[in-house]
Amino acid sequence: MPSSRELIKLDAMENPYGWPDEVIAEWLSVLKHVDINRYPDADCISLRENLHSVMQLPSGMDVLLGNGSDDLIQIIAMALAGPGRVFMTPEPGFVMYRQISRIVNLQYQGLPLEPGDFSLERDKTLAAIRQYQPSLVFIACPNNPTGNLFDRETVTTIIQEAPGLVVIDEAYHAFAGDTFMDCLSLFDNLLVLRTLSKSGLAGLRLGYLVGPPAWINELNKIRLPYNINVLTQKSVAFFLDRYDLLVRQAEKICQDREILFRQLQDMDSLTVWPSRANFLLFRCHDRDAASVHEELIQQGILIKNLHGSQPGLDQCLRVTVGTPRENECFVSALSGLL
């Protein structure tokens, strides 16, 4: 079996592109001057201002930074935990929600998505919210692992009807062409969560949570003071100055996603779902997902087997959009197997 370094890695929604050599050289020269013997700025003041302007975040809203957005999910869950409190989220969904709610003793309650298209059915969703009265609702837009965006009006109704906090997780916003950022001023129980991981900086670990100062101040009390290390602070600032490069890479990935989607759609023995993220979910009809997964590894390609991981994902696999060459290798290996 090929070692993981040699594998074409399409399992974790990473950006497959690097940076030009001259940009890397400039970045390394910035890092030369970092005082690693000193503690980082605990409040990340300049990085937060930087994010505010580069990401065009709404004025009047504050930003909380996390060591990846997983860190922020944990901070929010810890803040909202208490006896009998419920954490609700669409299912199938992002696995960390369940794991974190278990760690902090929140009662996890999945909202089953419609089996055909993974949409959120409005009336069922509202009934579940009335029944369980969740303290915390997480909605990933687009959703992972299904890749779809939920109907905007349904999500808005959830925000209105939820008795507690609603967090819209926009981990894939760079590929989605849609956001709830502009709704923050309309609701006092809404926060928007993002990460730079899927855009191309997964190794640096930086997530950011945006919302009204009243919420962000409270959550900041739980955050450990030095959760963003000095190398990440300096490096992210450097890459934000060149953010247009990441935007262009995301555009390329979206174009290649559509090519890959059509190629998978042309295969008779699988169903592929449209995606607004940088990955595609598909279901095998005549083959076991586990054996397809294994045989792809034998051919040097790593994707994600989701069969058995959550309800609603029988015989499903998820592939990250890679470079055109990686996608071609994947398509030809897969069509050979099916």
Ligand X SMILES: *Cc1c(COP(=O)(O)O)cnc(C)c1O
Chain residues that interact with ligand X, rule: CB under 6 A: 13, 68-70, 94, 140, 144, 169, 171, 195, 197, 202, 207
Tally of CA atoms within 13 A in the half-sphere of 160 that contains its CB? 9
CA–CA separation, 218 vs 179, rounded Å?
24
Q: Report in angstroms how near the CB of residue 236 gets to ligand X at its nearest.
A: 12
CA–CA separation, 77 vs 110, rounded Å?
15
Give Cβ neighbours of residue 45 (< 8 Å, ≥ 6 apart).
Answer: none
Given the complex with ligand X, which of 173 and 293 has the nearer CB atom? Answer: 173
Given the complex with ligand X, which of 94 and 175 has the nearer CB atom? Answer: 94
Q: Report in angstroms how near the CB of residue 99 gets to ligand X at its nearest.
A: 12
Given the complex with ligand X, which of 14 and 295 has the nearer CB atom? Answer: 14
Q: Report in angstroms how near the CB of residue 295 gets to ligand X at its nearest.
A: 26
First vs last Cα of the chain: how many Å apart?
A: 21
- Extract the runs of DSSP E, i.e. beta strands, from the chain: 8-9, 62-66, 86-91, 107-112, 136-140, 165-169, 190-195, 207-211, 270-272, 279-284, 301-302, 304-305, 316-320
Q: Report in angstroms how near the CB of residue 52 gets to ligand X at its nearest.
A: 18
CA–CA separation, 282 vs 265, rounded Å?
9
User: Coil, strand or helix: which one is 193?
Assistant: strand
CA distances from 289 to 7, 52, 249, 293, 330 (A): 19, 42, 30, 6, 15
- Extract the runs of DSSP E, i.e. beta strands, from 143-198: 165-169, 190-195
Q: Are strands 86-91 and 190-195 parallel, antiparallel or unpaired?
A: unpaired
Paired residues of 281 in beta bridges? 318
Give Cβ neighbours of residue 237 (< 8 Å, ≥ 6 apart).
Answer: 46, 47, 50
Q: Report in angstroms how near the CB of residue 225 gets to ligand X at its nearest.
A: 19
What are the respective helix, strand and coil percentages of the chain, to the nearest 5? 45, 15, 40
